[in-house]
């Protein structure tokens, strides 16, 4: 097959390559699901904007209904003060219902870093119509209290 290489050598090379691929695949997985854990000691809010109070060094989640099949999606249009509140990641969960057009949930996870105040805004819109009247804008005023 390959001039100058005997069959046993090719078998050993194939085994080494296969083992290397397995090691890389396992390392890439990190041993977990690869999805952020949105329930790990996080306070979840479903408020449509307003005032929120959280404790420093704790995570919190904003969970809002979302239906990407309509072209709408939630985005952060005004970011919080990153010294007080840090956005960490976003996740979409499929609807629990199999009904056509059922809404799922978009979750935005944040980490309260230290005592202070931060404001951010989430917008529900279509990328093709960012200023349409049916868009939603929810502004959150977050007060982070020192950890006791």
CATH code for residues 42-145: 2.60.40.2020
Helix (H, G, I), strand (E, B) or coil at 107: strand
Report the C-alpha gap between 104 and 97 in whole angstroms: 9
- Top-confidence residue, 126 or 39: 126
Report the C-alpha gap between 121 and 112 in whole angstroms: 16
Mean of pLDDT values over 106-126: 97
pLDDT attached to residue 17: 39
On average, the pLDDT of the chain sits at 80
In DSSP terms, which residues pair with 74 in a beta bridge? 124
Domain boundaries, the chain: 1-34, 42-145
Banded pLDDT at 40 (limits 50, 70, 90): low
Report the C-alpha gap between 141 and 136 in whole angstroms: 17
Helix (H, G, I), strand (E, B) or coil at 119: strand
- Top-confidence residue, 117 or 41: 117
Report the C-alpha gap between 142 and 148 in whole angstroms: 18
Mean of pLDDT values over 93-122: 94
Report the C-alpha gap between 143 and 126 in whole angstroms: 30
Per-residue pLDDT tens over the stretch 60-97 = 999 999 998 889 999 999 999 999 999 999 999 999 88
Asked if the model's pLDDT at residue 24 lies above 80, the reply is no
Give pTM, 2 decimals: 0.71
Helix (H, G, I), strand (E, B) or coil at 139: strand
pLDDT attached to residue 57: 95
């Amino acid at each position: 097959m390959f001039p100058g290489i005997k069959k046993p050598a090719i078998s050993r090379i194939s085994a080494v390559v296969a083992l290397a691929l397995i090691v890389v695949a396992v390392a890439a997985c990190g041993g977990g699901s690869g999805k952020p854990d949105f329930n790990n000691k996080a306070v979840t809010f479903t408020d449509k904007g307003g005032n929120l109070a959280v404790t420093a060094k704790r995570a919190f989640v904003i969970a809002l209904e979302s239906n990407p099949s309509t072209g709408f999606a939630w985005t952060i249009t005004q970011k919080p003060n990153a010294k007080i509140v840090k956005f960490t990641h976003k996740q979409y969960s499929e609807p629990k219902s199999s009904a056509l057009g059922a809404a799922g949930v978009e979750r935005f996870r944040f980490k309260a870093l230290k005592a202070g105040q931060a404001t951010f805004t989430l917008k529900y819109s279509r990328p093709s119509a960012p200023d349409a009247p049916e868009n939603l804008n929810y502004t959150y005023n977050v007060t982070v209290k020192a950890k006791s």
